[in-house]
Amino acid sequence: MDAGKAIFDTVDKFRQRRTAPLVLELDLTEGLTEGPPADPLAAVLSMRKSRLADVLSGLKRARQDSRVKALIVKVGGQPLGLGMVQELRQAVIHFRASGKLTVAFAETFGEFSGGTVPYYLATAFERVYLQPSGDVGLTGVAMEQRFVKGALGKLGVGYELGQRHEYKTAANMFTQDHMTDPHRESMSRIVESVTETISAGIADGRRLDPGKVRELIDRGPFTGPEALEAGLVDGLAYRDEVYDEVKRAAGEEAHLLYVARYAKGAAVRKLPQPAADGIALVHGIGMIRSGRSGRSPLGGGGAMGSDTISAALRAARRDDHVKAVVFRVDSPGGSYVASDTVWREVTLTRKVKPVIVSMGDVAASGGYFVSMAADVIVAQPGTLTGSIGVYGGKAVLAELMEKIGVNTEMVAQGANAGMFSTSRGFSPEQWERVNAWLDRIYDDFVGKVAKSRDLTRERAHELARGRVWTGADAHASGLVDELGGLEDALALARKRAGLADDAPVRSYPRLNPLERLRGPESSEDKSAALARVRLDAWGPLARLSAELGLPAAGPLILPSWYVIR
């Protein structure tokens, strides 16, 4: 009898949960992942993180779901890039427009640190609450670069580097001791553009005059009471108090559910037929390298392998049920040759079906190279893009080696066999070859930009020269077609392909467990797109090792200081 009652109670509780009001929840403490795990290590590292695509699709569906009464998001912890923040803001604003309650809660927006971007995200919500002990680090936008030429010179390390052109500043930290005029101009405009976007968003979300927002930025950071008095937050409260208020508004019987779990549950209930026509979503994340995607077990982030991305694009191109492709790019660039390999596959795919690029936080240098051939490029206003240029050269360690008593001798056949050795500088003839190489890459890059973006060669060069643009400025100049996020790109792909608004989206390559285990039969097999753990990487020191003359990341790379969080 007791067992029967227990079963009945369990079934009744399950029924109530299926019909009770929902409060969707999103915890950004651990951040979000941009795409599906590319390799086993990435799967482990991202176990507790929600996927951006799941969050966006969940919020989109929830707008029409009468069970969903509210959304509460914990902001803070792991910082998010500006592009991802703008994706989330857009999704929240649309959710809020459906008439449902939206609440942002933070323990602090920066504890003895800046918190402008996290606070900018929070202002998309109807109500913003701050823990009483927290602060609002609304301090503005800053980009800082250190120059190590003088320090390295004292050690006896020199650099022989060429760049195309004056705005390609990735190597300036080694070759200059201060910002050049083009360098300062470019970075100043990025900061200005981002500040304009953030100020406008905060003003709109908090119903403040834009001039007032700029004044508040100059006065920040704020303690909790100061933020409340200035109208930056709606209340000072602890987590339990905020959640109790939201539950009362949604109904006492309401229960919490993470947005990503909500999205996945809906996907399970509405599994598309295997033969249904839909959209292929290909993620290209990290520095661009030849070979397969993956990451070092030492850390340092993943890599976009040209073999992996090319195989995914080929698989999507040959699948008759894929009617359009969305290529999600979040990359600072890397290898020119690998970028060109991916560019070719995008070009071939575009001849068969529409290709829409959706840019994430950054799609610059090589990241722009792989994007430019798409039918349409969609970027967020804060996406860093462009950087159409190239640099290359080497460190010269001869003086350093002499200082520490290391003598280097070389035996070689061929006048230029040792030209890339760091033990000596380039000869005039070798430097001529380096410059010819840089000119060839730059001419190819600019020529393809002109053709892909329907610009004259002169106009493409004017926009290039290595300059980094925000998405807003790139849109104004024609390097980007539309401002928006991943959901906008998917909607555009469906429209171009003549599909229904709810046509399924599938990540590519799509492999069953057997295909993952047996390995590829050839380079044409879609299982050739599987990523791997890259044991050849330098882990967290990858970028530094490349810049010091160790195995290079590639000549089309955006410097790490171009990050806005």
Q: What is the pLDDT of residues 475-534, one digit of tens each?
A: 999 999 999 999 999 999 999 999 999 999 998 866 555 555 555 666 666 565 555 544
Q: Kindly report the average pLDDT of the chain as a whole number.
A: 86
Going by pLDDT thresholds of 50, 70 and 90, the confidence category of residue 226 is very high
Residues 244 and 313 in one domain: no
Cα 270 from Cα 410, distance rounded (Å): 66
Is residue 419 one of the residues assigned to a domain? no
The β-bridge relationship of strands 235-236 and 127-130 is parallel
Between 15-19, 141-145, 362-366, the lowest mean confidence (pLDDT) is in 15-19
Q: Assign residue 173 a region (left: φ > 0; alpha: ψ between -120 and 50; beta: otherwise).
A: alpha
| Segments forming the whole domain that contains residue 126 | 2-139+220-265
- % of the chain surpassing 90 pLDDT: 60
pLDDT at 513: 52
Residues 109 and 224 in one domain: yes
Number of domains in the chain: 2
Is residue 408 one of the residues assigned to a domain? no
Is residue 440 one of the residues assigned to a domain? no
* Cβ-based burial of 8 (10 A; exposed 0-12, middle 13-18, buried ≥19): exposed
Q: What is the mean pLDDT of residues 316-324?
A: 94
Residues 226 and 361 in one domain: no
Q: Please report where in the chains the tokens 């053709």 appear, as a residue.
A: 451
**Cβ atoms 527, 520 nearer than 8 A:** yes
Is residue 489 one of the residues assigned to a domain? yes
Q: Is pLDDT of 543 > 50?
A: no
Q: Is pLDDT of 114 > 70?
A: yes
Pick the residue with more confidence: 549 or 432?
432
Q: Is pLDDT of 78 > 70?
A: yes
Between 295-309, 380-394, 416-430, the lowest mean confidence (pLDDT) is in 295-309
Q: Three-state SS across 424-469?
A: CCCCHHHHHHHHHHHHHHHHHHHHHHHHHCCCCHHHHHHHCCCCEE
Our CA dihedral for 282, 366, 488, 25, rounded to 10 degrees, sits at 70
Q: Is pLDDT of 221 > 80?
A: yes
Residues 357 and 253 in one domain: no
**Residue 503: how many other CB atoms lie within 10 Å:** 18
Residues 249 and 290 in one domain: no
pLDDT at 535: 41
Residues 256 and 324 in one domain: no
Q: What is the pLDDT of residues 143-165, one digit of tens each?
A: 888 898 899 888 899 888 888 88
Cα 327 from Cα 563, distance rounded (Å): 22
pLDDT at 18: 65
- End-of-domain residue from the set 232, 247, 265: 265
pLDDT at 544: 46
Going by pLDDT thresholds of 50, 70 and 90, the confidence category of residue 249 is very high
Going by pLDDT thresholds of 50, 70 and 90, the confidence category of residue 264 is confident
- % of the chain surpassing 70 pLDDT: 81
Is residue 205 one of the residues assigned to a domain? no
Cα 135 from Cα 106, distance rounded (Å): 9
The β-bridge relationship of strands 287-289 and 355-364 is unpaired
pLDDT at 17: 57
Q: Is pLDDT of 293 > 90?
A: no
CATH number of 224's domain: 3.90.226.10
Q: Is pLDDT of 553 > 60?
A: no
Pick the residue with more confidence: 226 or 553?
226
Residues 255 and 287 in one domain: no
Long-range contact pairs involving 13-21 (C-beta distance under 8 Å, separation at least 24): 16/253, 17/255, 19/67, 20/67, 20/251, 20/253, 20/254, 20/255, 21/67, 21/68, 21/69, 21/250, 21/251, 21/253, 21/254, 21/255
Residues 227 and 364 in one domain: no
The end-to-end CA distance of the chain, in Å, is 59
Cα 469 from Cα 482, distance rounded (Å): 15
Pick the residue with more confidence: 172 or 6?
172
Is residue 367 one of the residues assigned to a domain? yes
Helix axes 259-269, 52-62, angle to 10 degrees: 70
Residues 110 and 15 in one domain: yes
pLDDT at 521: 62
Going by pLDDT thresholds of 50, 70 and 90, the confidence category of residue 541 is very low
Between 5-14, 205-214, 378-387, the lowest mean confidence (pLDDT) is in 5-14
Pick the residue with more confidence: 111 or 549?
111
DSSP E strand boundaries for 322-452: 322-331, 333-334, 355-364, 376-379, 384-386, 390-396
Going by pLDDT thresholds of 50, 70 and 90, the confidence category of residue 444 is very high
Cα 143 from Cα 382, distance rounded (Å): 14
pLDDT at 432: 92
pLDDT at 106: 96
Helix axes 428-452, 336-350, angle to 10 degrees: 20
Residues 41 and 130 in one domain: yes
Residues 257 and 379 in one domain: no
Is residue 156 one of the residues assigned to a domain? no
Q: What is the mean pLDDT of residues 193-198?
A: 95
Residues 531 and 501 in one domain: yes
Q: What is the mean pLDDT of residues 349-361?
A: 97
pLDDT at 323: 97
Is residue 199 one of the residues assigned to a domain? no
- End-of-domain residue from the set 265, 297, 322: 265
pLDDT at 279: 96
